[in-house]
C-alpha cells in the first residue's frame, strides 16, 4: 500500500508539472526579431476586421486561417516593410492588448488606441497616425437620431467600450442614464438594436460604417461647441509600444513620411473595402450570407471548442481520478511518510479549492500572461488553454470521484480487505470500475459545461467558436443573425453529446429485462 501511495503521488506530480511543458518554450535571446507582431481585435471596422481571404491586401492572422484587413493593418504593413520585418497579426481581445504587449506576446498595439494619460503610464506611444471626432451612434427610429447637442441625450441610456476614454466622457451628458461599460463594439451594437441602450459613444469612422451598412442605425455628430470636450490625446490614435522600446523612434520616422493625403485615402479605401460594405446592397438572405462569408471560421472555431472541451475533460478526468483516489488512501503509520502524505494532501486540497473557487477566465489570464511576465516563458495559446481547462476540470472531477468512491457500499471494502486485497487492489479491481459508471452522468455534465465555458478563453485570444462569432459580428454588423447561428451550433454540440452519453449509459446498464443466472429457474 505504501508503494501505491508513492506511485500515485509521483504520477500526479508528473502529470500536473509536465502539462505546461507541452506548451511552454523559453524565449531565446533574439527570438522573433524578424517579425513585427501587432496586436488588434480584428473586429473594429473600418480600423480592423476579420475576413476569409487576402483580398484588398489583408494579412494572415497568427494561429488561424483567417485574414485581417483595415486601416490599422495598412499602417502596420508600411511600418513592418520599413523596419525590414515580417508583419504578424495577433488577434487579441481589447482588454488583453496591454498585458499581451507588456508580457512580450506582441511588439506593438495598432488597434485604434488613443494615447491617454492612464495608458501612457503602462506603455509608450508613437506619434499620432489618425485623428477622429467623437460621435454618438443611436437608432434611426428614436428621437435621439435628431439630436443636435449633448443636452438632447438627457435621460438616454448610454454606454461605451470598456477600458476606453469614451466611457468617461458620458458624464458630460446632462442627466444621462449611464449604463455599464461593454466589452466590445459588437456587444454595444446588439444592445442598441435590441433597445437595451439608447446610444453609445464612438469615433467617426466606426459611426460612418455603422450607419452605412445598417439603415436602422444613425450616427449623430455635433458642432464643436455642442459636443464632447476632449483633449488632443483623446481623439488621436497612436501605436502602443513597450516602455523604452528602441523601435519607437524608427516608427515615428516612418509615420512622418506618410502624408495626410495618403492617410485619408487609406481610411477611405478601408471604409469602402470592408466586407459589410461590399454586401450592403445584396438581396441574399442574411443567414445564408453569414454562413457563406464566415462558415469556415465557424467550423474552425467549433473544432477548437470541441478539441479543448474533449481533451480537457479526458485529462481532467484522469487528474480527478488520481486526486480522488489519493484522498481516500489511509494515513500511513510511518511518521515520515505520514507527514509527507499530509503535506501532499494539503497541496491537493489547496489545488482543488483554488481552481474551484476562482473563475476560469481569471485563471486563463493569469496563467497565459503571468508566466511571460514573471518567468519569461512564451506559451502557445492553445496549449495554455488546454492546460487551464484540464486542471480546472480536474479540480471538479476530484470531488465527483471522491463522492463516487464514498457511494460504493462499505461492505465491499470490508470484503476486499477480508480477502487480503491491498487498498490499491481494492480501488483498481473493485471500486474504480463501479465509480466510473456512477460518475458517467456527472462527467458528461462537465463535458457539456466545458463546451460552453471555452468561450471565456477569448481573453487569451484562443480562436474558439465564440471568439470567431464575435469577430464575424464585428465585421458584418449582423449581430442578431450571427449570434443566432453561434447559439444553434452550441446547442447542436451539447444536445448531441448529451444523447451520445445517455446511449453509453444505457449500454453499460445492460438490458432492462436482465436476470442474473442465480435467479433463473
Considering the domain architecture, whether residues 224 and 244 belong to the same structural domain is answered as no
Q: How far apart are CA 186 and CA 166, in angstroms?
A: 16
**Domain membership flag for residue 126:** no
With a CB cutoff of 8 Å and minimum separation 6, the contacts of 10 are: none
Answering whether pTM is above 0.85, one says no
**Domain membership flag for residue 322:** yes
User: Which residues, listed in sequence order, are joined to residue 134 by a DSSP beta bridge?
Assistant: 203
Q: What is the mean pLDDT of residues 372-393?
A: 87
According to DSSP H, which parts of 141-226 are helical?
165-168, 185-193, 204-213
Considering the domain architecture, whether residues 337 and 471 belong to the same structural domain is answered as yes
Considering the domain architecture, whether residues 333 and 307 belong to the same structural domain is answered as yes
With CA atoms as reference, report the closest residue to 115 among 257, 236, 270.
236
Q: What is the mean pLDDT of residues 327-332?
A: 76
Confidence of residue 2 (pLDDT cuts 50, 70, 90): very low
Q: Using N-to-C axis directions, what is the helix angle for 2-18 and 335-357, rounded to 10°?
A: 40
At residue 160, the pLDDT reads 95
**Domain membership flag for residue 415:** yes
With CA atoms as reference, report the closest residue to 47 among 108, 91, 110, 94.
110
CATH assignment at residue 169: 3.40.190.10
Considering the domain architecture, whether residues 81 and 189 belong to the same structural domain is answered as no
Structural domain count of the chain: 3
**Domain membership flag for residue 333:** yes
Q: What is the mean pLDDT of residues 367-386?
A: 85
Q: Which of 29-33, 191-195, 262-266, 347-351 has the lowest mean pLDDT?
A: 29-33
Instruction: Give residue 35's domain range.
Output: 27-118+239-278
**Domain membership flag for residue 363:** yes
**Domain membership flag for residue 67:** yes
Cβ atoms of 447 and 431 closer than 8 Å = no
Task: Among 278, 302, 337, give the residue marking a domain's end.
Answer: 278
Q: How far apart are CA 451 and CA 446, in angstroms?
A: 9
Q: Which tens digits make up the pLDDT trace of 436-459?
A: 888 888 899 999 999 999 998 988
Q: What are phi and psi of 90, to 5 degrees?
A: -110, 105
Considering the domain architecture, whether residues 327 and 347 belong to the same structural domain is answered as yes
Cβ atoms of 470 and 66 closer than 8 Å = no
Task: Among 278, 307, 341, give the residue marking a domain's end.
Answer: 278
Q: What is the mean pLDDT of residues 12-41?
A: 57
Q: Which tens digits make up the pLDDT trace of 157-178?
A: 999 998 888 999 999 999 999 9
Considering the domain architecture, whether residues 37 and 80 belong to the same structural domain is answered as yes
Confidence of residue 327 (pLDDT cuts 50, 70, 90): confident
The pLDDT mean for the chain works out to 85
User: Which residues, listed in sequence order, are joined to residue 498 by a DSSP beta bridge?
Assistant: none
Using the predicted structure, report yes or no on whether residue 335 has a pLDDT greater than 90: no
Considering the domain architecture, whether residues 326 and 430 belong to the same structural domain is answered as yes
Q: What is the mean pLDDT of residues 234-244?
A: 92
**Domain membership flag for residue 381:** yes
Considering the domain architecture, whether residues 113 and 220 belong to the same structural domain is answered as no
Considering the domain architecture, whether residues 103 and 53 belong to the same structural domain is answered as yes
Using the predicted structure, report yes or no on whether residue 205 has a pLDDT greater than 90: no
Considering the domain architecture, whether residues 300 and 263 belong to the same structural domain is answered as no
**Domain membership flag for residue 498:** yes
Q: How far apart are CA 354 and CA 408, in angstroms?
A: 28
Considering the domain architecture, whether residues 350 and 476 belong to the same structural domain is answered as yes
Considering the domain architecture, whether residues 227 and 243 belong to the same structural domain is answered as no
Amino acid at each position: 500500500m505504501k508503494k501505491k501511495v508513492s506511485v500515485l503521488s509521483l504520477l500526479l506530480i508528473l502529470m500536473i508539472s509536465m502539462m505546461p511543458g507541452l506548451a511552454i518554450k523559453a524565449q531565446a535571446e533574439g527570438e522573433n526579431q524578424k517579425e513585427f507582431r501587432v496586436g488588434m481585435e480584428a473586429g473594429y471596422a473600418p480600423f480592423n476586421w476579420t475576413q476569409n481571404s487576402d483580398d484588398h491586401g489583408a494579412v494572415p492572422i497568427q494561429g488561424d486561417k483567417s485574414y485581417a484587413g483595415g486601416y490599422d493593418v495598412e499602417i502596420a504593413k508600411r511600418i513592418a516593410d520599413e523596419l525590414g520585418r515580417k508583419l504578424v497579426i495577433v488577434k487579441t481581445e481589447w482588454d488583453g492588448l496591454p498585458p499581451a504587449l507588456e508580457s512580450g506576446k506582441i511588439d506593438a498595439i495598432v488597434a485604434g488606441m488613443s494615447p491617454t494619460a492612464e495608458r501612457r503610464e503602462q506603455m509608450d506611444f508613437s506619434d499620432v497616425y489618425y485623428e477622429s471626432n467623437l460621435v454618438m451612434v443611436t437608432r434611426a427610429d428614436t428621437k435621439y437620431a435628431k439630436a443636435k447637442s449633448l443636452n438632447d441625450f438627457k435621460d438616454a441610456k448610454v454606454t461605451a467600450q470598456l477600458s476606453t476614454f469614451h466611457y468617461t466622457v458620458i458624464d458630460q451628458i446632462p442627466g444621462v442614464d449611464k449604463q455599464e461599460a461593454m466589452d466590445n463594439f459588437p456587444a454595444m451594437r446588439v444592445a442598441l438594436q435590441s433597445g437595451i441602450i439608447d446610444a453609445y459613444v464612438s469615433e467617426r469612422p466606426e459611426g460612418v460604417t455603422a450607419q452605412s451598412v445598417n439603415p436602422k442605425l444613425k450616427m449623430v455628430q455635433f458642432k464643436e461647441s455642442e459636443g464632447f470636450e476632449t483633449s488632443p490625446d483623446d481623439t488621436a490614435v497612436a501605436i502602443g509600444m513597450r516602455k523604452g522600446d528602441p523601435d519607437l523612434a524608427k516608427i515615428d520616422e516612418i509615420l512622418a513620411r506618410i502624408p495626410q493625403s495618403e492617410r485619408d485615402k487609406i481610411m477611405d479605401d478601408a471604409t469602402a473595402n470592408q466586407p459589410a460594405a461590399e454586401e450592403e446592397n445584396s438581396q441574399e438572405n442574411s443567414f445564408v450570407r453569414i454562413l457563406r462569408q464566415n462558415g469556415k471560421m465557424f467550423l474552425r472555431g467549433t473544432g477548437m471548442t470541441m478539441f479543448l472541451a474533449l481533451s480537457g475533460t479526458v485529462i481532467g478526468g484522469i487528474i480527478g481520478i488520481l486526486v480522488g483516489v489519493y484522498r481516500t488512501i489511509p494515513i500511513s503509520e510511518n511518521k515520515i511518510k505520514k507527514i509527507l502524505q499530509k503535506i501532499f494532501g494539503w497541496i491537493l486540497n489547496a489545488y482543488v479549492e483554488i481552481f474551484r473557487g476562482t473563475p476560469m477566465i481569471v485563471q486563463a489570464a493569469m496563467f497565459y500572461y503571468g508566466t511571460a511576465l514573471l518567468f519569461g516563458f512564451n506559451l502557445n495559446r492553445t496549449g495554455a488553454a488546454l492546460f487551464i481547462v484540464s486542471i480546472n476540470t480536474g479540480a471538479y472531477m476530484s470531488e465527483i470521484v471522491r463522492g463516487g468512491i464514498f457511494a460504493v457500499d462499505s461492505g465491499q471494502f470490508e470484503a476486499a480487505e477480508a480477502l487480503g486485497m491491498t487498498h490499491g487492489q481494492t480501488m483498481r479491481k473493485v471500486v474504480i470500475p463501479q465509480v466510473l459508471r456512477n460518475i458517467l452522468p456527472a462527467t458528461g455534465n462537465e463535458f457539456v459545461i466545458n463546451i460552453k465555458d471555452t468561450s471565456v478563453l477569448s481573453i487569451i485570444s484562443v480562436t474558439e467558436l465564440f471568439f470567431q462569432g464575435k469577430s464575424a459580428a464585428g465585421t458584418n454588423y449582423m449581430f442578431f443573425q450571427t449570434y443566432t447561428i453561434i447559439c444553434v451550433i452550441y446547442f447542436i454540440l451539447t444536445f448531441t453529446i448529451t444523447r451520445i452519453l445517455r446511449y453509453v449509459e444505457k449500454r453499460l446498464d445492460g438490458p432492462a429485462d436482465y436476470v442474473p443466472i442465480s435467479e433463473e429457474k
